[in-house]
Amino acid sequence: MKQDGRKNELADAFRQQYMDTLCRTLPKKYRTYGFEYEFLPGGMLGIEDMARIDALLGDIGGEKIGSDRLFDNGMLVTFEPGGQIEYCSPPMLADDHKKLNFLLEFIEDVNGTIRDRLGINYMGIGFLPGRANYPLCLRTARYLQLHRRLSKSGTRGHEMMKGTASIHLHVSISRMDELLPLFYFLCDLSRSRDFGMDGERLDIWNHTDPSRCGNPPCCKEALASPDQLIDRLVRYALQAVVLGEEVPFEKSSDQSFSAFLYHMTTIFTNVRFNLKGPTLELRTLDSVPPCSFKPKWLQFVASAREVK
């Protein structure tokens, strides 16, 4: 009973801090959209390869921001632990086709430069088999802890880390009353033929970590308010295992709000709320070649802009 009381206390406090932050940032004039677009390397990479790619990104204009590279066009380029390269777009308006085309050309140019200069071929594909025992290309505490966690939380977590690539689609929240409709919209898309996970990648995620993967439990729940949604998402995260401690957050050593915000970035549900922006993320789409991405993007944006 004492633990339940502490859990409820944390849930109420974090929900209120989330809502306070939202109220400070909303409303916004425009709804914007963005993407995170991952590509898998054709062969096995190591730490030295990542250093070579990072140096090349610097040579072609990427400014060092922590461990990432930021380009003048607003694109942030980062990496995943299997050597995947990830392109994080700046926010875009729904009908900014010129900017979209420019960013997609940039992605193809950078991948081409890496291939031509370093012999590393990045592919838009959702899964490549046989990579569970490949070396970790990122050795920060976050990924070392995640690697350890996924060695025992399921049977295919290391394949997820090193052998999968996805496209995350973002839609910003411009008004508080948009939050619930957009959440339900993305939950529906996550189960759809056009935007849901497919085949082998779906099986991998189903056997990765039940405490942090899959659909949020409230996807099919009839919620009455944004406040209720944030409460459900907070309570879900409180039960998820903290990397490096192997206990739910409600029992972790650091129960500060900042620690909780970091913890929420380690939860990989199909639909995820991101206080930065703030945005909602759809995380189910398998990576595809750039020529196939634009139709998906246009379909996503056309559907999302109808959500009121």
Q: Which domains does the chain have, with CATH numbers?
A: 31-219+267-303 (3.30.590.20)
Distance from C-alpha of 68 to C-alpha of 166, rounded to nearest angstrom: 18
Per-residue pLDDT tens over the stretch 162-217: 999 999 999 999 999 999 999 999 999 999 999 999 889 999 999 999 999 999 88
Q: What is the mean pLDDT of residues 124-152?
A: 96
Spatial CA neighbour of 218 closest among 174, 248, 250, 180: 180
CB 44 within 8 A of CB 135: yes
Spatial CA neighbour of 287 closest among 31, 41, 13: 41
**Dihedral sign, CA of 239, 245, 250, 256?**
negative
Distance from C-alpha of 277 to C-alpha of 25, rounded to nearest angstrom: 8
Residues 6+ apart with CB under 8 A from 112: none
Higher pLDDT, 276 or 58: 58
- Mean pLDDT for the chain? 95
Q: What is the DSSP string of 200-253?
A: HHHHHHHTT-TTTEES-GGGGS---SHHHHHHHHHHHHHHSBPTTT-SBGGGSS
* Two structure tokens written together for 93: 């308006």
Considering only CA atoms, give the Rg of the chain.
19
Q: What is the mean pLDDT of residues 273-284?
A: 94
Structure confidence at residue 303 (pLDDT): 97
| pLDDT at residue 48 greater than cutoff 70 | yes
Structure confidence at residue 278 (pLDDT): 95
Per-residue pLDDT tens over the stretch 75-124: 999 999 999 999 999 999 999 999 999 999 999 999 999 999 999 999 99
**Dihedral sign, CA of 186, 187, 189, 190?**
positive
| pLDDT at residue 281 greater than cutoff 60 | yes
CA 176 centroid distance within chain = 22
Structure confidence at residue 199 (pLDDT): 85
- Tell me which amino acid residue 93 is: L
Structure confidence at residue 2 (pLDDT): 53
Structure confidence at residue 240 (pLDDT): 94
| pLDDT at residue 1 greater than cutoff 60 | no
Structure confidence at residue 3 (pLDDT): 60
